[in-house]
A = this chain, B = another copy of it.
Amino acid sequence: MIVILKKEHDTHQLDELRRWLEGQGISIQVNEGVQSTVLGLIGDTSAVDSDLIEALEIVETVKRVQEPYKKANRKFHPEDSVVDVSGVPVGGGHFAIMAGPCSVESPEQICTVAAAVKAAGANLLRGGAFKPRTSPYAFQGMRESGITLLLEAKKQTGLPVVTEIMDIAHIDAFADVDLIQVGARNMQNFELLKELGHSKKPILLKRGLSSTLQELLMSAEYIMAGGNENVILCERGIRTFETATRNTQDISAIPVVKELSHLPIIVDPSHATGFSRYVKPLALAAVAAGSDGLMIEVHNNPAKALCDGPQSLTPAQFTDAVQAVQRFLAVR
């Protein structure tokens, strides 16, 4: 960390700052110049709050040379991480296709969709059991029994399952879930992240609607700091002023995260766009930009389609999209 002091600064305050930093085990190298005085902070500065230092009267500006995340940082782990999800590798050249319905609704529904997405080429089954809904009056998911149905579909198809956790109190219900999803609204639910850090389960961490990529990596760091390094990141659209799509898929998240971190990153074009007709082009864009996988909503009853989200593909549309994905994967 480099601290640039104002040209004229109070030496008493500078002494206080030095003592405070040294009390945290950081040594300081001072460069006195004509235009400014520059402090080089040497040691582990990841716990130092740069905002606090920047707020001091004597400080002109502060610049981190090291990113505040360590375990998620590619600098200290140059190779791509590969996360093993019950036998399905994700990352490092292994492409994951997670598909399934928005909500688990019945044994027939989830087993039918599971069979369909497996036939089309999916290698993981998604399905919502605990559902975060904006309205308290909306269907909140089948909860524990939804997970039971997902596991039944896993038994029939062999596909490992991914589903969202909303509160650490429910953790027992996730004992046999293969990949635990932390949703966008809980990306900074730090107590939940800490608890998942004590697990060994693979975690799918979705980016918050207005989270920066650095914040996403810091949330991954919460999980990893606890000892669980099996983290897969997911870009699912950010909130902007544009209303033609539900969210804006931040396609640059892929190369940026791949540069900064060794963790796999996948894309969820269904939530990013909110409309099924845009899912295929945005899935292909994710492949082209280097994504390690996709998460796509597929519904069960194209004729009825009433209880499925507007962003869900029919099995036929999904099959078509996967075939295009495979063509693009072959040339990237």
Contact = CB atoms under 8 A, between A and B. Distances in A.
Closest 8 pairs (CB-CB, A-B): A55-B310, A210-B210, A288-B288, A167-B191, A31-B31, A284-B288, A35-B40, A185-B188
A38 B287 CA distance: 41
Contact of A281 (B42, B212, B288, B304): B288
Contacts of A272: 252
Given A47-B138, A135-B46, A52 B278 contact: no
B278 A282 contact: no
A307 B46 contact: no
Contact of A285 (B54, B240, B248, B289): B289
Interface string A280-298: 0110111111100000000
A17 interface: yes
A285 B251 contact: yes
Given A306-B52, A331-B328, A255 B281 contact: yes
Contacts of A47: 135, 137-139
Interface stretch (A59-67, A81-89, A90-98, A110-118): A59-67
Nearest to A102: B52
Interface of A: 2, 4, 16-17, 20, 29, 31-36, 38, 40-42, 46-47, 49, 51-52, 54-56, 60-61, 63, 65, 68-69, 132-139, 166-169, 185-186, 188-194, 208-210, 212-215, 218, 221-222, 225-226, 238-245, 248-252, 254-256, 259, 272-278, 281-282, 284-290, 304-311, 324, 327-328, 330-332
Contacts of A239: 210, 241
Given A35-B65, A55-B309, A282-B289, 16 more contacts: A29-B34, A34-B42, A35-B40, A47-B138, A134-B188, A209-B210, A212-B241, A238-B241, A245-B256, A248-B250, A251-B282, A252-B273, A259-B277, A284-B289, A285-B288, A287-B288
Nearest to A30: B33
A248 to B, nearest CB: 6
Contacts of A289: 281-282, 284-285, 288
